Structure 1
Amino acid sequence: MRNLDFTPLYRSAIGFDRLFNQMEKQAANNNAGYPPYNIEQQDEHHYRITMAVAGFAESQLDITQQQNKLIVRGTREGQPEVAREYLYQGIAERDFERKFQLADYVKVIGAQMENGLLHIDLEREIPEEQKPRKIAINGRQLLESE
């Protein structure tokens, strides 16, 4: 078990309190690894989360985005409980809730199921006023070739 102490970083990093708090919270709450997932960066502004949700139908999954948080829930309500005697049970058959913290301006653009995998596509849309821009010095615009 690893404990991360970000206290030394608080002394030299100003304005990053939220980031360090999120990292500490994430380290403490790792959701026990169920269901397994991948996070893929497809290009500079597109991402994909892939979750292994074998045994769940689309109607049993719920995807919600609330501000900068993405919540994926799987519930097996309404399924009749069948008494089974397992010699070995390696497939988890339980409800889950997985939370992802999203960066600013990241939104969900789509989701699909394929072969027991749930793919959630995300895109970062930076508003025009947040994009980098050239600043003129003394009212003179700099040229790219200078």
Structure 2
Amino acid sequence: MRNFDLSPLYRSTVGFDRLAGLMDAALAGETTQPAYPPYNIEKTGESAYRITLAVAGFSEDDLTVESKDGQLVVSGRKPAEETERSFLHRGIAERAFERRFQLADHVRPVSARTENGLLHIELVREVPEALRPRRIEIATAPSKPAELEAKTVN
């Protein structure tokens, strides 16, 4: 019984089409992402996040980090080797990969760096000033109608 009908939620929401699509895909089991490379997502501050991927064997030139259409796309490609190597055991995959992360609204990557075989991607959530909560002062009404008339005449 993994079938849920989310259509009642769609009747009372506006502008959440992407979120609804994500929920439908998650419930349908369409999120079959490969397990390689392993990664961590951590919250490093009030509005700061870090994604860390294990990318052993990849240099900075082999990795690509792109932000497009509300997604963070991390990919790794090793150039073709000119020399043939003979492995007795191959435990470090070094295979090509592409990993996608869905970004929430107003979350954007600010930097990426490699350290000890890990790729760290720093993200920040920046809410525009127009969307931030603001306090609206409530003015008191004049106590006498004569004061109101005097202000409108001048």
Q: Say whether the fold is shared (TM-score over 0.5).
A: yes
Task: Measure the CA separation in 1 of the matches of 2:86 and 2:124.
Answer: 43
Task: Measure the CA separation in 1 of the matches of 2:115 and 2:48.
Answer: 19
Aligned letter for 1:46?
A
Question: In structure 1, what is the equivalent of residue 74 of structure 2?
Answer: 72
CA, structure 1 residues 91+25, in 2 after alignment: closer, same or farther (shift >3 Å)?
farther
Task: Measure the CA separation in 1 of the matches of 2:2 and 2:137.
Answer: 44
Q: CA deviation at 1:17?
A: 4.3
Please give the secondary structure, in 2, of the residue aligned with 1:43.
coil
Deviations 1:111-138 (A, max 9, x none): 110000000000111111100112344x
Please give the secondary structure, in 2, of the residue aligned with 1:22.
helix
Tell me the matched-pair count.
135
Question: In structure 2, what is the equivalent of residue 18 of structure 1?
Answer: 18
Please give the secondary structure, in 1, of the residue aligned with 2:130.
helix
CA, structure 1 residues 86+6, in 2 after alignment: closer, same or farther (shift >3 Å)?
farther
CA, structure 1 residues 17+105, in 2 after alignment: closer, same or farther (shift >3 Å)?
closer
Question: In structure 2, what is the equivalent of residue 53 of structure 1?
Answer: 55
Q: CA deviation at 1:43?
A: 1.5
Please give the secondary structure, in 2, of the residue aligned with 1:82.
coil
CA, structure 1 residues 40+81, in 2 after alignment: closer, same or farther (shift >3 Å)?
farther
Q: Which runs of 5+ in 1 are unaligned?
A: 141-146
Q: CA deviation at 1:44?
A: 1.9
Q: Any conservation in 1 of the 2:56–2:94 contact (CA below 8 Å)?
A: no
Task: Measure the CA separation in 1 of the matches of 2:39 and 2:83.
Answer: 27
Question: In structure 1, what is the equivalent of residue 110 of structure 2?
Answer: 109
Aligned letter for 1:25?
A
Mark the structure with the bigger radius of gyration: 2
RMSD: 2.3
Aligned letter for 1:84?
S
Q: Percent identity?
A: 44
CA, structure 1 residues 23+34, in 2 after alignment: closer, same or farther (shift >3 Å)?
farther
Please give the secondary structure, in 2, of the residue aligned with 1:33.
coil
